[in-house]
């Protein structure tokens, strides 16, 4: 490597060490916003958030949050420290470090949809320059960083590892978890070259308590997939066990609690109405898709996916059985879904099994409403359309419903007040601790 390249690298590393590097985070959602605030709070003096949504930028300018998991006080504090935000991507020309926190959904054929990444790269390409680090944090298949980011740099005549440093470091956000934050969750980091990795580690060590280096971007990409596939497969297993136990008249939650007393060799997973969120239901299929390129069929992973995707139908079946026992048909019944976020205490409904339950119920002729204190109006979604507002849980409001399905037990859902419902299907086994004088299908 030539002396000029070495000097350029040392300049970037010196900027990082002094917190003088100008850092931009593209995509200010559930991953990007906490990350950019963490960078500001770590002492960086020049930090810019970029997003195509002008409403987000306006809220940030007014010290307002648009995510329940991010406090407005953090935004106000960051603004006082000089945090900038814009929809103008030409600012990339002024940045030393560019971090991509963009959606990577699946299309209707359950194949990776890389449009958000590729379109953003095309937008910023004219503004990339030497002595820059480009980091991808979006969850994706092994090989994405090499296949998508490296060609962009090469088309700009930038030599990777000398002129530009390309890194993959998967996000590990857990929205709503009070015990872990962006700064405290260990950060996996892999670079295209050793120099890339060194720069990535140097940067993340200034904002994250523990950095975990791996040998390549592919290893870092696979690490994130393994983490989420591990959860998806084990949740699929315990969901299948729930179905078997139900047929045998066994309380699966009693069995799980008993098994969890073993001090080794067992990790507790609990069943539910299916998988939700932007990671667990989607990430395994990045690998199954990529594995086919190598002639490999990931049967174990795909089987777990089939089981988890079938759980909303199973929940609806339990509801139909319970209504039938009361001499009531599902068609024409008024059903209230309690909680539609993909997990408790957050306002994110992406891939939520509760939404899928609503779709199935509507298709079967039920009148479907929902109650979720964190989602007052049903969000705009590509695949699900409901013109609904959240129903407040009061005795008067619940009087007209034939049944409720407890899908997401938020702490402030006022579960004690659902006694006004004539029937509840509890998908999370949280009502067993209440003395409810209503029929309740526990652990459905």
Question: What is d(CA 49, CA 242) in angstroms, rounded to the nearest whole number?
Answer: 44
CA gyration radius, the chain:
24
- Smallest CA-to-CA distance from 161 within 119, 126, 133, 142 is with 133
189, 196, 279, 440: the active-site residue: 279
Question: What is d(CA 154, CA 151) in angstroms, rounded to the nearest whole number?
Answer: 5
Active site residue 279: yes
* 3-class SS letters over the chain: CCHHHHHHHHHHHHHHHCCCCEEEEECCCCCHHHHHHHHHHCCCCEEEEECCCHHHHHHHHCCCCCCCCCCHHHHHHHHHCCCEEECCHHHHHHCCEEEECCCCCECCCCCECCHHHHHHHHHHHHHCCCCEEEEECCCCCCCHHHHHHHHHHHHCCCCECCCEEEEECCCCCCCCCCCCCCCCCCEEEEECCHHHHHHHHHHHCCCCCCEEECCCHHHHHHHHHHHHHHHHHHHHHHHHHHHHHHHCCCCHHHHHHHHCCCCCCCCCCCCCCCCCCCCCCCHHHHHHHHHHHCCCCCHHHHHHHHHHHHHHHHHHHHHHHHHHHCCCCCCCCEEEEECCCCCCCCCCCCCCHHHHHHHHHHHCCCEEEEECCCCCECCCCCCCCCCCECCCCCHHHHCCCCEEEECCCCCCCCHHHHHHCCCEEECCCCHHHCCCCCCEEECC
Cβ 398 vs Cβ 418: under 8 Å:
yes
User: Measured in whole angstroms, how far is the alpha carbon of residue 36 from the centre of its chain?
Assistant: 17
Active site residues: 279
């Amino acid at each position: 490597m030539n002396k000029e390249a070495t000097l350029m690298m040392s300049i970037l590393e010196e900027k990082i060490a002094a917190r003088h590097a100008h850092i931009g985070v593209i995509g200010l959602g559930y991953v990007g916003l906490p990350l950019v605030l963490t960078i500001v709070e770590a002492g960086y003096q020049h930090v810019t958030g970029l997003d195509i949504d002008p409403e987000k930028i306006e809220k940030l300018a007014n010290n307002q949050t648009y995510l329940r998991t991010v406090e407005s006080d953090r935004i106000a504090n960051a603004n006082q420290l000089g945090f900038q935000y814009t929809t103008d991507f030409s600012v990339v020309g002024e940045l030393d470090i560019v971090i991509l926190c963009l959606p990577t959904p699946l299309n209707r054929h359950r194949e990776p949809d890389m449009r958000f990444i590729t379109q953003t790269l095309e937008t910023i390409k004219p503004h990339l320059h030497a002595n820059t680090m480009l980091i991808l944090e979006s969850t994706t298949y092994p090989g994405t960083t090499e296949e998508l980011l490296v060609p962009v740099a090469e088309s700009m005549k930038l030599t990777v590892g000398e002129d530009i440093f390309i890194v993959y470091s998967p996000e590990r956000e857990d929205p709503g978890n009070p015990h872990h934050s962006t700064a405290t969750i260990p950060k996996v980091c892999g670079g295209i070259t050793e120099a890339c990795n060194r720069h990535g580690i140097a940067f993340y060590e200034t904002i994250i308590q523990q950095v975990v280096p791996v040998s390549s971007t592919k290893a870092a990409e696979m690490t994130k997939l393994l983490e989420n596939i591990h959860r998806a497969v084990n949740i699929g297993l315990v969901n299948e066990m729930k179905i078997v136990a139900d047929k045998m008249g066994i309380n699966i939650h009693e069995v799980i609690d008993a098994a969890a007393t073993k001090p080794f060799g067992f990790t507790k997973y609990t069943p539910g109405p299916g998988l939700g969120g932007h990671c667990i239901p989607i990430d395994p299929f990045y690998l199954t898709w990529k594995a086919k390129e190598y002639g490999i069929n990931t049967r174990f992973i795909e089987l777990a996916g089939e089981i988890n995707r079938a759980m909303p139908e199973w929940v609806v079946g339990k509801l139909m059985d319970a209504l039938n026992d009361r001499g009531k048909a599902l068609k024409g019944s008024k059903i209230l879904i309690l909680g539609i976020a993909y997990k408790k205490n957050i306002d994110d409904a992406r891939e939520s099994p509760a939404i899928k339950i609503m779709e199935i119920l509507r298709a079967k002729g039920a009148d479907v409403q929902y109650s979720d204190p964190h989602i007052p109006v049903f969000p705009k979604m590509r695949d699900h359309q409901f013109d609904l507002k959240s129903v407040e849980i009061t005795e008067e409001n619940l009087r007209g419903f034939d049944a409720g399905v407890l899908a997401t037990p938020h702490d402030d859902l006022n579960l004690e007040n659902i006694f006004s419902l004539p029937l509840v299907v509890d998908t999370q086994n949280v009502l067993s601790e209440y003395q409810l004088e209503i029929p309740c299908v526990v652990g459905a």
